[in-house]
Amino acid sequence: MIHKGGLYHRPKSNFAYGYNNETLHIRVRAMKGEVKKAICRIGDPYLWERGGAGGGNLEASGSYGWKSENIPMKLEATTQYHDYFFIEVPRETKRSRYAFILENDNERLLYGERRIIDLDDTDKEKQVLNDLSNFFCFPYLNAIDVLKTPQWAKETVWYQIFPERFANGDKSNDPENTEPWGSEPTFNNYMGGDLQGIMDKLDYLVDLGITGILFCPLFKANSNHKYQTIDYYQIDPGFGTNELFKQFVEKAHEKGIRIMLDGVFNHVGYRHPFCQDVVEKGEQSIYKDWFCIKEFPVKKGGYETFATTPHMPKVNLEFEAARDYFLDVGRFWVEEFNIDGWRLDVANEISHSFWKQFRQTIKQINKDVFILGEVWHDALPWIQGDQYDSVMHYPVTDACKRYFALNQMTKKEFIDTINHIIVNYPKNASESMYNLLNTHDTSRFLSVAGEDSRKLLLAYVFIFTYPGCPSIYYGDEIGLSGHKGSSENHRRCMPWDESLWNHDLRNSIKSLISIRKDNRDFVSGDIEWLDHIIDDTQCLAYRRENCLVFINPTDEHRVLSLPEIYSSLEDLRTKQLINNTEIDVRAWDYRIIKIK
């Protein structure tokens, strides 16, 4: 039986969207296992053999012969409770009306926008399959509404740097009372990391293979993390100067590395001059409407903030002057310094209206600037073509931690979770998602995994072979660990004494980066789970275009049998040809194999 209440579709969402200027993607959801065959009946509502547009198309008197087609849909994904069927449809005319014919051994239904109809009568079927009033509508595939992410971003391997703790290259700009490099990190101490230090280590990053750097904030602030901004137009003096940053961007670009800045526009630092003007002058301040003040005179905490931290007062970006100021900040660093991207802090707490203006402002300067939002939850409303290009993909982070690090998920639960994440987004959004295992805001994955670097590596194997662009948090590649908690150990200094490095881990991550860069199979296309051909309850097995990935997160050696059609293979780690269809995967190891 097909439960009608389990059917779901909605146009202009992750269920129906423009993948590019000429192609529609359409999904429909049904209860798990209930639909054996799904067909999308689709056509231009104005094209009929007779009548149609001249008669008002939906109420076309005397019309017949709607020029539509029935296109079989594929089973795209299965989650814990649902099946999702998918179709890619080229649309020359741009306009579409469509409905779904859903079948199993006993039933045949038409699922439309207004009604679900049993197709049990031939005469009735002919009528309802041409009654466009019950068909979903995608009115027009407007090119401007399609999410267009810069192609370079989809191909980038990101490396996130917490600048104060990466490398100290210029001791002359060290903040007062700077502590020795590698001291125990706290909320308030300084180690002297700066732009010169990062510039000095660019060759290290080139050797690792990364092609993009995401900086935590660089602007002037009175904290080591710099999320309490005082001046948005000035590099923090402890990091260097604006001129040094310009040199850094130029040098990074010469080495093939893109640069993304962290834009903290939701709030400013309490010591920001505009905020202090309000504190001093109260209702007489010209900046009083820039902030969400609860009462005058202003006392610390008498205003809305980021979270509950009074040293980060929230900005009222619905006030025109404040909005224009931050739009200019976004424009300034793109125009004057040629940065390649903006990461937007606390992006989900700022209005959609502001982000739409922000995108228009930035893309008018350079359409290839990458706009990345910090959203920890389902982010669909922000990535439909008019705001961000991508978001930090924390739902995948959480799934990887629960599966690889904590053993809180079975293989089936992990696949169900990943499938649910995939169908939550348009494919053109998934292809550029910023995939990560940890950041400056989280405990390091290695510590969550009980300091087991095997688990960290396998999680990175998944991140590097999953749709989207992978990111490495500085130091992960050498086995840097640290819990977030009463200390700041997740933000500890990068150790440059190589005797402290896990070289095997670093070499493995270098290999992953190289494999990804050499195989475009991981840049686009779906993830196809191979459970239908691999009989193993523990090993992850999936296909990305012409690459097969096998991950064994267990203590046992596994031998996986492939069908004979996979007889011509190459191991991408060893560059050796495989002469049989028996794939050995050692305990806590992986194989990445190319179909020749």
Asked whether 287 and 277 are in contact (CB, 8 A), the reply is yes
Helix axes 453-465, 503-518, angle to 10 degrees: 10
Quick check: 373 and 391 in contact, CB under 8 A? yes
Strand segments, DSSP code E, in 4-156 are 16-20, 23-31, 37-50, 64-72, 74-78, 82-90, 96-103, 108-111, 116-118, 136-138
CA torsion 494→495→498→503, rounded to 10°? Answer: -50
Catalytic residue among 44, 194, 345, 536: 345
Residues 6+ apart with CB under 8 A from 459: 400, 401, 404, 405, 437, 445, 449
Residues 161 and 144: their CA atoms lie apart, in Å, by: 34
Helix (H) or strand (E) holding 357: helix 352-365
Distances (CA, A) of 77 to 15, 55, 419: 13, 41, 6
Distance CA 376, CA 497 (A): 35
β pairing state of 158-161 and 469-473 = parallel
Give the Cα separation of 87 and 590 in Å (integer): 32
Is-contact 446 405, C-beta < 8 A? no
Q: Which amino acid is at 463?
A: I
- C-alpha–C-alpha distance, residues 54 and 48, integer Å: 10
Token duo for residue 174: 């060290």
Nearest CA among 218, 217, 223, 165 for reference residue 191: 165
**DSSP labels for 501-524?**
S-HHHHHHHHHHHHHHHH-GGGTS
Q: Is 452 a catalytic residue?
A: no
Q: Which of 44, 194, 262, 374 is catalytic?
A: 374
Answer yes or no: 582 catalytic: no
Please say whether the beta carbons of 78 and 70 come within 8 A: no
User: What amino acid positions are annotated as catalytic residues?
Assistant: 345, 374
